[in-house]
Amino acid sequence: MCRAGLGLKVASIGPHFGEEPMISGSRGSGAIFFSNCNLACVYCQNYQISQEGKGEAISPEELAEKMIALQAQGCHNINLVSPTHYGPQVIETLLLVKQKGLKIPVVYNSNGYESVEMLQMFEGLIDIYLPDVKYADDALAFQYSGINGYVAANRAAITEMYRQVRNLEMDNDGVALKGMLVRHLVLPEDVAGTGRSLEFLASVSKDIWLSLMSQYHPRYKAAQYGSLKRKLTPEEYKRALDAAIKLGFENILGQEMESSDQYLPDFEKANPFESN
């Protein structure tokens, strides 16, 4: 499904300032964008790397050195973006880099379609989990992301991540040190099942930090799907925010509707986010 081989493949490495404030901080998050993906989302904003496989091969030893360099540049953390399908190789890299002197937190930034067994192997190596809750309906998950059993797998994964690291802990500057922050991208016509997704999260803990995103943009193949041809409306996003507040979430990160275009990277550039 992921179309990846046994070797690591990476599309971009460098400081990234487009994450949530507690992840990016003032000096950036040390983002490592892995090539390929275990989902096939028709609206993926990173389709150049997730679906088209843009990137270069890199060994665990080389990647460990890159992580140390990101730490030396002052990045607040190492941000593993879409690492799921390289789980064993990433574990090997993290064991190496800890020996080389990595001190900053490690962020596991994923679409939330995970194996609990694999996540248990990451315990103690990951400081911050940053998963998505993408869907509340398996049929829609299959239609728009091409995978089976997303809902049960996602909910089991998030429960395991929360068991490992609990709620976010931050330093005096508001930068995350440990814990979990969950993302939910609100989709047009409630394709993401926002209400049910948030009800599940509330059942885990209402103290979870929730990043409720309005940035949906019809990219990649989205124009071929009626429900996803357009951007989100302010009314749709307001309903999502109201639902989160009604459920009792207090740690909610909202997003300005006007900011959606700045989240469109171009991985043909050396810095995919330079024009945003």
pLDDT single digits (tens) 121-168 = 999 999 999 999 999 999 999 999 999 999 999 999 999 999 999 999
pLDDT of amino acid 120: 98
pLDDT of amino acid 187: 98
pLDDT of amino acid 46: 95
Tell me 36's DSSP state.
S
Q: 131, 96 in Cβ contact below 8 A? A: no
pLDDT of amino acid 267: 85
pLDDT of amino acid 273: 75
Give 205-220 pLDDT, tens digit per residue: 999 999 999 999 999 9
Give 236-259 pLDDT, tens digit per residue: 999 999 999 999 999 999 998 866
Q: What are phi and psi of 56, to 5 degrees?
A: -130, 145
pLDDT of amino acid 266: 84
pLDDT of amino acid 124: 98
Mean pLDDT of 14-30: 97
Average pLDDT, the chain: 95
Give 64-92 pLDDT, tens digit per residue: 999 999 999 999 999 999 999 999 999 99
pLDDT at 263 over 70: no
In this structure, how many other beta carbons lie within 10 angstroms of the beta carbon of residue 274?
9
Give 162-209 pLDDT, tens digit per residue: 999 999 999 999 999 999 999 999 999 999 999 999 999 999 999 999
107: nearest Cα among 182, 5, 204, 38: 182
- In the chain, what are the domain boundaries? 8-263
pLDDT at 13 over 70: yes
- Provide CB contacts within 8 A for 70, sequence distance 6+: 13, 14, 15, 30, 78
Q: pLDDT grade, residue 262 (50/70/90)?
A: low
Percent of the chain, pLDDT > 70?
97
pTM for this entry: 0.96
Structure-token pair, residue 66: 């890159």
Q: pLDDT grade, residue 275 (50/70/90)?
A: low
CA distances from 112 to 82, 84, 93, 182 (A): 9, 9, 21, 9
pLDDT of amino acid 264: 73
Q: Of 3.90.1150.10, 3.20.20.70, 2.60.40.1840, 3.20.20.330, which CATH number belongs to 8-263?
A: 3.20.20.70
